[in-house]
Amino acid sequence: MILVVGLSHRTAPVQIRERLAAGAEALPAVLARLASREELAEAMFLSTCNRVEVIALAHGEAGIDEARRAICEELAAHGGATSGEELVPYLYEKRGDEAVRHIFRVAASLDSMVLGEPQILGQVKDAYEAAAGAGTLSGLLARCMSRAFAVAKRVRTETAIGAGSVSISSVAVDLARRIFGDLADRTVLLLGAGEMAEAAARSLVKGARALRICNRNFDRAAALASELHAAAVPWDDLGEELTSADVVVASTASSTYVVTRDLVKRAMKARKGRTLLLVDIGVPRNIDPAAHGIDNVYVFNVDDLEQEVARGMQARQAQVTAAEAIVAEELAQFLSWRRALEVAPTLVAMRTKTRALFLAELERSLGGRLRHLTEGDRLALTQMLDSAVNKLLHTPTTKLKARAAEGDDAGELAAAVRFLFDLQEAVTAEPSRTATPTRPPASASADDEPLIN
């Protein structure tokens, strides 16, 4: 069963989310710990500025609670909590069909703080590739994520949910304009040169008098500045830059504050009381929230931006119904394929055992009373036997497949078939850690009956 355990901007404040966030350098260790848990067959770790989730495949129905406990323990260990219970008030959990629906909605940006924002799909793909590269993603969960990407593409192309400014970065710029009005006479300092910072820069450069980019890697800052006709400044000049900037937008990969209260306090003395707006779109946070207590200093983080996001959501709400319909349609198709996958081993085992019994009886007869038959006659009898097996098993096969497609009691019926036919060797459909990613059947599947006349 697929399981999602995590927290987001809806359930946990930024000070909790930042403890569990994992950048590219920490991700391999997190995935290694998840892979070491026997309760999890597959797992991936999604970390964005607004959510941290473990998406996993548990070892069978009976192990779902154990899988949840394992995930909570690993999240607690990663976030420095004393136990998994410490995080429980902030966590949500999705199981089975609801987990798949949640994954589809997240990839399609229907659960984002900024509805329809495009960055989340790239972040989910990055998490998928990291898990696949680490060997923690291989079978059913890999197939689920593949369908999630298709869902996101359909939502993006078939609805207008992403029209207009839809990123956290653009909302940060809107906030600056609302406080200062026209930015034409303002200097904006951008801390960081990653994807979020670049998105903010492209919005800022259109209206600000001057855009200055400060990054630990000066070459990266210079490359972005050159592209946007901005100015790159050395990281060591940060204190001086805070003195001259009006708006600071921070989005770095630092795990600690890069703008401290003391740094801001020193800058404000030189500014002689001029207002300073600090917008922190990083998770973990880049700006010490204590700086907000300094006169004429205003600090906003990603949680504060949620109120700004709400202002621009009305136009997109009209597209939600269409987007949710796409999710529902794709979910039904995936679950139908999943249920068919569950009954396939039973059908194959039933067919294999029945044919083996018929062949054994035929061989016994051909070695006794029918040993005088020619090779042609023997072949004809074998073909007749295969035809009889097909006709005998056609009805139970088609009925069980139909049950699986309809989402009724296919699992119970498959179990009854295994009991009645004593199919001890029948295997479940849960893939192993080393399974090859499964693909949905096209027009036929391995257990379709051969037509022998």
pLDDT band at 361, cuts 50/70/90? confident
Residue in 49, 72, 144, 214 annotated catalytic: 49
Among candidate residues 307, 341, 335, 355, the one with its CA nearest the CA of residue 445: 341
Which residues, other chains included, contact 323 with Cβ-Cβ below 8 Å and sequence gap of 6+?
A: 108, 110, 155, 159, 161
Active site residue 49: yes
Tell me the C-alpha to C-alpha distance, in Å, between residue 193 and each of 51, 116, 198, 212.
Answer: 21, 23, 6, 11
Among candidate residues 199, 55, 43, the one with its CA nearest the CA of residue 119: 199
- Rounded Cα–Cα distance for residues 311 and 210 (Å): 27
Q: Which of 14-18, 214-218, 338-342, 353-357 bottoms out in mean pLDDT, i.e. has the lowest?
A: 338-342
161 and 172 share one domain:
no
112 and 178 share one domain:
no
Q: Please tell me which residue, 419 or 125, carries the higher pLDDT value.
A: 125
176 and 265 share one domain:
yes
pLDDT surpassing 80 at residue 151: yes
Number of domains, the chain: 2
Domain assignment of residue 396, yes or no? no
Check residue 213 and give its pLDDT.
95
Residue carrying structure tokens 């630990």: 216
Check residue 437 and give its pLDDT.
41
Q: What CATH number does residue 271 fall under? A: 3.40.50.720
pLDDT band at 119, cuts 50/70/90? confident
- Write out the residue range of the structural domain in which residue 142 sits: 2-165+317-329
- Rounded Cα–Cα distance for residues 372 and 365 (Å): 10
Question: Where does a domain end: 249, 276, 308?
Answer: 308
**What order do you get walking across the sheet with 231-233 strand by strand?**
231-233, 210-214, 187-191, 247-250, 276-280, 297-300
8 and 138 share one domain:
yes
Check residue 430 and give its pLDDT.
44
189 and 153 share one domain:
no
126 and 236 share one domain:
no
pLDDT surpassing 70 at residue 244: yes
Question: Where does a domain end: 298, 329, 360?
Answer: 329
13 and 153 share one domain:
yes
pLDDT surpassing 60 at residue 339: yes
DSSP 40: E
Which residues, other chains included, contact 163 with Cβ-Cβ below 8 Å and sequence gap of 6+?
A: 116, 315, 316
Domain assignment of residue 276, yes or no? yes
pLDDT band at 449, cuts 50/70/90? very low
Burial of 254-271, coded b for 16+ CB within 10 Å and e otherwise, reads: beebbbebebbeebbeeb
Check residue 201 and give its pLDDT.
79
| pTM score, whole prediction | 0.66
Domain assignment of residue 364, yes or no? no
Question: Where does a domain end: 273, 308, 343?
Answer: 308
150 and 17 share one domain:
yes
Check residue 310 and give its pLDDT.
64
User: Averaged over 176-204, what is the pLDDT?
Assistant: 83
